[in-house]
Amino acid sequence: MSDADLEQLGINVIRGLAMDGPQRANSGHPGTAMALAPLAHVLWTKVMRHDPSDLHWPDRDRFILSCGHASILLYSMLYLTGGGLELKDLEEFRQWGSKTPGHPEIHHLPGVEVTTGPLGQGFANGVGMGVAERYLRARFGADVCDHHTFVICSDGDLEEGISHESASLAGHLGLGRLVYVYDDNHITIDGPTELSLTDDPVKRFEAYGWAVDSIGEVANDTAALEAALRRAMAEEDRPSLIVLRSHIGWPSPNRTDTKEAHGNALGEDEVRATKEILGLPADKEFWVPDEVLAMYRECIPRGQALHKAWKGRLDSCSGDRAELEACWAGRGMDGWHEKLPTPFEVGKGIATRKALGSCLNATLDVVPGIIAGGADLTGNTGTELDDQEQQSAEHPEGRQLFYGIREHAMGGTMNGMAQHGGVLPVGGTFFIFSDYMRGSVRLAALGEAHVIYAWTHDSVGLGEDGPTHQPIEQLAAMRAMPQLRVIRPADANETVHAYRVAVDSDGPTALILTRQGVPVLDGTGSAFEGVSKGAYVLGDAGSQPTVVLVGTGSEVQHCVGAAAQLAEEGVVARVVSMPSWELFEDTDDSYRRSVLPPGVPVLAVEAASPFGWERYADATVCIDHFGASAPGGVNMEKFGFTADNVVAHARALLAAAKSNTTNK
């Protein structure tokens, strides 16, 4: 068999696997994987620098399947090239406990760089990976970091708004080494793309500042595909989009260019007919002849040689290895905590967003992976860095990233930076606008991306901008998200502790911060352990409290004030600061009981929806309606966030508890 014939057989085997996986599962998307089998073949065997024996090699090329519904294509290539999958894993496609879920999930399977599926997210992740690669190359040199990011995206990716935002950002930043292939197959689940899409992607991406190469009907021409990829790889100063006209489901006799090839298994008869056209055994499933497997497994020694050469260059580098390792880990260097701001003066009014800014600037040298910025709110969110260059083509080492008014792109780009490694992204916006980036936040949580969100202007206390800008339900909604660590610090000192937790922990952390100044409270300066456990006793007038006042954020001060007033009445009130439900839930029962003793009435005070507080509190001082346009202090008073109102509610709670006891 000639080399050309063997390659063609390999491509047809990929198509066979793309049909067999969804057919066995009776679920999946075979058509895109079938059409793009030649592209995948070229990428894995001729273009990408990857080591199947070590899929986490830091200087590997990155591959993102933004159209994650075509996951069987990625799984097939990981199996064929020796990337940790066995044939049985393809046979268990989309089944319980398998390594091959319906959409690619990072940490679930080596070789998956980011979790994709919600369209457009992978597109934005690629932009973040481009930022990270360029930053590391500029900081540590090409011997340490010198690779490309390849992204396959679809019509659906380009329709989602996040792709517009992130494409605009990538063009503005002049990010080279980004190679996107747009699979222009003209099919969506509803039918032809012409039902809803008449954009000209060439003109659109040229306007964004991308290098665009419309290569037309060459989906089966491996030489043309390789040439286009290498042209794009040569672009150092702008991202590249290759527009490839493919035919979904090709060469299925009855499903090519149809919506049925998109979201459904082809059916046994159609699979058989298509295999006959391809010259594959029609009566065999998951057929991979030895010669095809041997051809693809040649990627292993080739990748190992590339990897070994990189290790040699790395060992020869004279740069700061501790700094490099801290970057790759997204952590601080040894002793970095000592650089944190010392406890702030008790009683001084400091907005917690400003305290975060103090933390970032104090630790830039010892947390070298930090790249921070906001969605047109950099100065407002505490993410403005002192004396740092703006991330740009002129300053690829820049650590200040201005995202513009692109919250959705900011979230997706941050995920890409974090999952690439080498960068700890910190992104800020008003808490209300976390709604715009929620899809990306969810994938950060699902994929355990190490990112830090600075969500500020956290309540009706932000003031005159009014209810459109005042978060009410956002706090409860974010707490409901699995694997997202939400911390709402009471003052500047708790903000320092929360920042330390965020840097030292895996996964995403949301810091919920105030616009307005809040007083530094007595006892918070030494409360790192308490904050790291999510809740702690801040003030206790006696060993056995009569009532517990639990507060978060700016409302803790009112709990402290209320406790003092109640003490004058002979009521022993314990004040508990509870910055993080998630961290508190991670503690053991004995600790939780020591903070919230059983049988003692609990009043929760928080300028947000009361939803969820029933797990801890018997009554609440919260807000279950939208806010108002007025000075922040006026809002807080009018809506009951004062020590006097907390006292009134505590009295009512105690009276109700006494009445219940009497009635029993």
**Could you list the active site residues?**
407
Exposed/middle/buried for residue 335 (C-beta within 10 Å: 0-12, 13-18, 19+):
exposed
- Are 32 and 184 contacting, i.e. CB atoms less than 8 angstroms apart? no
CB 637 within 8 A of CB 585: no
- Which tokens in the block code for residue 306? 């590339």
Strands, E assignment, 185-309: 211-216, 240-245
Give residues with Cβ within 8 angstroms of 558, minimum separation 6: 551, 605, 641, 642, 643, 645, 646
The Cα–Cα gap between 280 and 290 comes to 14
CA-nearest of 591, 586, 614, 584 to 602 is 614
The helix/strand count (H/E) of the chain reads as 26, 17
CA dihedral for 260, 265, 269, 273, sign (positive or negative)? positive
Residue that the structure tokens 């991306």 belong to: 449
Looking up tokens 């503690």 gives: 587
The residues facing 192 across adjacent strands are: 187
Alpha carbon distances (Å) from 580 to 197, 318, 450, 510, 604 = 44, 42, 17, 10, 13
Cα–Cα distance between 245 and 539 in angstroms, integer?
A: 67
Provide the β-strand partners of residue 428.
374, 454
Q: Residue 416: enclosing H or E segment and its boundaries? A: helix 407-420
**What does the DSSP 8-state code read for residue 520?**
P
- Residue 547 DSSP one-character state: E
277 Cβ contact partners less than 8 Å away, ≥ 6 residues apart: 251, 253
User: Coil, strand, or helix at residue 574?
Assistant: strand
**Unique residue bearing structure tokens 């053991």:** 588
**Closest to 35 (Cα-Cα) out of 175, 244, 224:** 244
Q: What are phi and psi of 44, to 5 degrees?
A: -75, -30
26 and 114 Cβ atoms separated by less than 8 Å: no
What is the C-alpha to C-alpha distance for residues 48 and 39, in angstroms, rounded to an integer? 12
CA angle 21, 23, 28 (to 5 degrees): 70
DSSP result, 347-398 = T-EE-HHHHHHHHHHHHTTTSTTEEEEESS-TTTTT-PPTT-PBPSSS-TT-
Q: Are strands 536-540 and 573-577 parallel, antiparallel or unpaired?
A: antiparallel
Provide the token pair at 47.
Answer: 């273009």
Sequence-ordered list of residues with C-beta below 8 angstroms from that of 513, at least 6 positions apart, any chain: 351, 352, 353, 355, 356, 381, 382, 454, 455, 456, 458, 488, 489, 495
Q: Rounded distance, CA 611 to CA 60, Å? A: 45
- Distance between CA atoms of residues 570 and 594, nearest Å: 22
Sign of torsion over alpha carbons 215, 220, 222, 223: negative
